[in-house]
Amino acid sequence: MPNFGNYEQIIKDFSWSISEQELDYKPGQVINIGWYCSDRICQQGKADKTALIWEGFSGAKKIYTYNDVRLCSNTIARFITGLGINAGERVCLFLDRIPELYLGFLGILKTGAIVQPLFSAFGEESLFVRLENARTSAIFTQKKHLSKVRKIRDKLPDLKHIIIVDYDGKSPLQEREVPFSMENTEKIENYEVYPTYAETPSVLHYTSGTTGQPKGVQHVHYSLISQYITAKWVLDLRDDDLYWCTADPGWVTGTSYGIIGPFSLGVTQFVLDSGFSAEAWYRFIERNRITVWYSAPTAIRSLMKAGDEIIKKFDLSSLRHLASVGEPLNPEAVNWSIRVFGKPFHDTYWQTETGCIVITNFPGMSVKPGSMGRPFPGITATVLNHSNHEPYPEPGRIGLIGLKPGWPSMMRTYWNNEEAYKNKFRNGWYLTGDRARIDKDGYFWFVGRDDDVINTGGHLVSPFEVESALLEHQAVAESAVVSKPDPINMEVVKAYVTLKPGFTASKDLELDIMNFIRKKLSPLAMPQEIEFVDSLPKTRSGKIMRRILHAKEWGEEIGDTSTLENE
């Protein structure tokens, strides 16, 4: 039976105090995420339980128990405080998915400093923008990324320490550089964790920049209350699970559900630090007997592109629960997973700003392929009229997704940008910037980003609906739908399409795709043009950057591309 029970009953009786009680936390007490994810688990008698199993691209493997996590995070915390870094200062993790990234995250939080995880694939300009904005005091990095930091160091007077976790002593250290080796540093048994409270800042995540400049989303230690119980109820994590979250901690899924959620539950989790390959991923699941798998639609579509035959080579029977995050999950992907894995991927909807899953398909509940699911207990969600930000009283209307503020992991501000933060709220609602509709059963259906929805001849067209129809064609691997200028209808639908192996772009194929989706879409939603491309612009977290394609069609400035996958 799933951890999550009867939805209607739980919604009626729910209080965030359920999570507080399970974590043995009382309002007003000290709450430090680093301690809750390591020391507390050890105190529960799980010190010798495996916490983290890491595999590198070259086949290297490291295993850490919860006591190892406690000792290593203590050691990193002592090292940081020894450098003179104080509570509230920003400490950046600019690392590949190596163990130091996960251990360092908890160690930084134990000091009361604010952890700032960033993608290691960022170039120096992307890195500079974020370090300068946060006035970061220290950065953990590797030799392979050191040149990027050195190029911008002189423009960052607040950056006092550049900590190299794999320094080999062969080349001389430069200004402000400090070596640190987890293997060669004596482990610290006792570390007095800094007394952080509910509203003490914890994590500073920068948005992926799908629109405008990236903004620093400020979270607090009380976010643990949401992340713990959503990991338990939505991801259905249990004590004996072997869990794999494919997200990089450079974005919020990789911290909320790749560090905080599983570690606060005392679960064993796996990390694979290598690039995508369908065969490698399936082999990883088979070899480690993964039971719960949390991935992204981009990865799922890539697995679909690799075909069904490859799956037959592997024993994936250990998989118990599948979930997806990052972009809306197309119906075809859900139906595919039912066909090949015998169970659906459960779409989960949330944002960097929400800190936790807010609308979702729950384990044990009927999945409507293509639906976002229903609101998590404690989350009041609706769709709002765009003009007055009042909830639509009847189902079926397309509107802005609004959330009633007050859940524990909601962002507290945008770093040094209070005006942008305040602009996210209207009429007592937090505006997600996404549009959806609600059906008669209370399920939400994603329509598109507010600035992605296409208004053609006065009719609103959902890019997601068109993209989902395109994906059902046998030749289409991925698609992105945007508007293009039109002298009669102001704007019309254009589709960018990548093809599966074995298919070649041609006028005949374009006509075949058009005829295929004509049966599925209204005439206004039909693309007026299909352009075949080798790849679609994406953020490194897997979101398709439609605004780049939109800008191309409308002759506009592209804006920030710092999180573009191929920057």
**d(C-alpha 459, C-alpha 457), whole Å:** 6
Rounded-to-integer distance, Cα 78 and Cα 190, Å: 10
Amino acid identity of 439? D
Q: How far is CA 172 from CA 143, 155, 159, 179, 307, in A?
A: 12, 21, 19, 11, 50
DSSP secondary structure of 444-492: EEEEEETTT-EEETTEEE-HHHHHHHHHTSTTEEEEEEEEEEETTTEEE
> If the chain, 567 residues long, is cut into consecutive pieces of 10 residues, what is the mean pLDDT of each piece?
90 96 98 98 98 93 98 98 98 97 98 96 87 97 96 97 93 94 95 98 82 83 98 98 96 96 98 92 97 93 92 97 92 96 97 97 94 97 95 94 98 96 96 95 90 74 86 94 83 93 94 89 85 90 83 76 58
- For the record, the structure tokens of 11 come out as 């919604």
| Per-residue burial over 281-299, b = 16 or more CB atoms within 10 Å of its CB, e = otherwise | bbebbbebebbbbbbbbbb
pTM: 0.86
CB 359 within 8 A of CB 376: yes
What's the pLDDT score for residue 211?
Answer: 47
Q: What is the pLDDT of residue 560?
A: 62
Instruction: Return the sign of the alpha-carbon dihedral for residues 74, 79, 80, 84.
Output: positive
Is residue 471 within 8 A of residue 499, CB to CB? The reply is: no
Give 138's strand partners.
Answer: 91, 161
Q: How far is CA 61 from CA 54, 153, 254, 279, 348, in A?
A: 6, 33, 20, 19, 30
Q: What is the CA radius of gyration of the chain?
A: 23
DSSP state at residue 297: H
The DSSP bridge partners found for residue 486 are: 490
487 Cβ contact partners less than 8 Å away, ≥ 6 residues apart: none
The total of other beta-carbon atoms located within 10 Å of residue 455's CB is 12
The full length of the chain comes to 567
Calpha distance 467→461 (Å, rounded):
11
**pLDDT value at residue 463:** 86
What structural domains does the chain harbor? 451-554 (3.30.300.30)
pLDDT at 448: 82
How many Å apart are CA 462 and CA 243, to the nearest integer? 34
Q: What is the pLDDT of residue 458?
A: 61
Question: Which SS3 state, helix, strand or coil, does residue 24 take?
Answer: coil
Tokens of 45: 């008698």
Tokens encoding 443: 């399920």
